[in-house]
Structure 1
């Protein structure tokens, strides 16, 4: 027999009304209690009654967009693309902010399980197995942006191409000592986009006869100061790098700050490449890998609406092109 709300309440050790509140207004439930209820629902593979889901969804025309908006300026451009795609469609957009793209969404707890959304866009956030199963079980149509996972449509970029472009530019400039700076992820084995920037960067350098030592690959919290401190540590090595590829433009700006504090000439003594080509890159004159931020949001929204309206029934996987933008670093 299918699990009921009574079963979930018993398993979680709470009242039925608390389970109902967790399903409909999760933000009003204490985090520890919410996690216990969601764990019980997952263990029991609980699905709200189909008729209740239909009533909640009927005529809503509401799409949720989940991303680390306040931590990464580039997501505002992606959201602009989403809004542009939906402007003529009369869809309401509900924004869910997350702290970091390096962390998983442990429960998607900010989204009601009764599916008061018609669809969901998840941008650059890795989804744990339990949350993925829950989304599929609830039949909440979801499109992933910059993240790929079986069972979901996705819009991605070719990260491996980004790694190759960065390495090739450094090689053309005559560098022989390299480093890579990335945001520390608390989620192992997360898959972003197509391929790995680091793997392609390292392989391209190796093909040219240059190693990328493990001590030259540094993971830091997402922030300018953390990137600056990590760069100082790299430059203190006995054989310091002269070329640093950063996972995004914000980390690259931390590298530039460290170079300035040391009085190093950029790019003569230290070359730097970022990723994204947001506003900060142009302001700093940063050489970077441009990804189509606004276009990616627009295509993700179009893909989601096509699935919701039945115009596209099969899963779609779109890979967008990236471009090397040479500036002053």
Structure 2
């Protein structure tokens, strides 16, 4: 994403100041900080929910913002269709013959435990479309980290009828899934098929089947949208999704046990 932002700003006079929030309180502090008059010309909010209070403050200061992988009706947003990506990942596993397909998800808002996972709706729609039974135990929410992915797959593999395939909502989680599965003696993909999400360089090197998310393009398009708002402040908010693509590699195969 940062490379895409850099691409879009290469011919401009703007520079990027990066702030990282580790919890909800820090997010609110950063929102207040960036709205101080003269502190910034515009704001890119990456994978964080824009609160109504933040949007009100933006309006009060006539400050423009664009969201990446988040939605608010009063702000322009650039993202991907997580529902569609989850459906295609699930249907790929089902097409290989898997009937017990799990989901290791990540929350839409990382700082709000009440929000659903980014892939939950698409996953559940795919389950219904294929005629499979929706098994609540097959859905797990976890932080987007390898350790959280490992803990989630450990819990799934302890079930009486564990999944033979799992759709994972981030490549970081998928790496943890691979490590934990192999630690329990499961072979990937013979005993467990794994589909990741993002298509990061590490998963490409490891041969992980994953949903490619055009991260650099997201950064570029979001930044270009912000530059357009700075040039034409009356531009109406809009939401745009960039396409994802299933990258088939070496971590999926037909199930050996049906």
Fold conserved between structures, TM > 0.5: yes
User: What does 1:193-204 align with in structure 2 at a 5 Å threshold?
Assistant: 196-204=118-126
**Which of 229, 248, 261 is residue 170 of structure 2 equivalent to?**
248
Rounded to whole Å, the distance in 2 between the matches of 1:125 and 1:189 is: 14
The equivalent of 2:188 in structure 1 is 266
Contact 1:226/1:254 (<8 A) preserved: yes
Q: What residue in structure 2 maps to residue 153 of structure 1?
A: 76
Structure 2: where are the runs of 5+ without partners? 252-258
CA distance in 2, matches of 1:314, 1:123: 20
* 1:187 corresponding residue in structure 2: 112
Instruction: Give the greater-gyration-radius structure (CA).
Output: 1
Cα distance between partner residues in 2 of 1:183 and 1:199: 12
| Kept in 2: contact 1:178–1:212 (CA 8 A) | no
Give the equivalent residue in structure 2 for 1:119: 42
| CA root-mean-square deviation | 2.2
The equivalent of 2:64 in structure 1 is 141
Between 1 and 2, higher relative CO (CA 8 Å, sep ≥ 6) is seen in 2
Aligned partners of 1:105 and 1:127 also within 8 Å: no
State the Cα distance separating 1:188 from its structure 2 match. 5.4
Is 1:299 matched up with 2:224?
no
The aligned residue for residue 62 of structure 1 is: none
Superposed counterparts of 1:47-126, under 5 Å:
78-99=1-22, 105-107=27-29, 108-111=31-34, 113-126=36-49
Structure 1 outlier segments of 4+, above 4 Å: 188-192
- The unaligned stretches of length 5 or more in structure 1 are 1-77
1:132 alignment counterpart: 55
Comparing 303-312 and 169-178, the one that deviates more: 303-312
Distance of aligned partners of 1:149 and 1:105 in 2 relative to their CA distance in 1, 3 Å threshold = same
**1:295–1:312 Cα change, 3 Å:** farther
TM-score by length of 1: 0.70
Superposition deviation, residue 211 in structure 1: 2.3
Question: Could you tell me which of 138, 146, 155 is aligned with 1:233?
Answer: 155
Per-residue CA deviation, residues 215-251 of structure 1 (Å, 9 max, x unaligned), is 1111123321222122111101111111111110000
TM-score (norm 2): 0.89
C-alpha distance 104-239 of structure 1, shift in aligned 2 (>3 A): farther
Tell me, what secondary structure is at the counterpart of 1:88?
A: coil
Describe the superposition over 1:139-188 as per-residue Cα deviations: whole angstroms up to 9, x where unpaired: 11111111110111111111111011111111111011121112354415
Comparing 286-295 and 112-121, the one that deviates more: 112-121
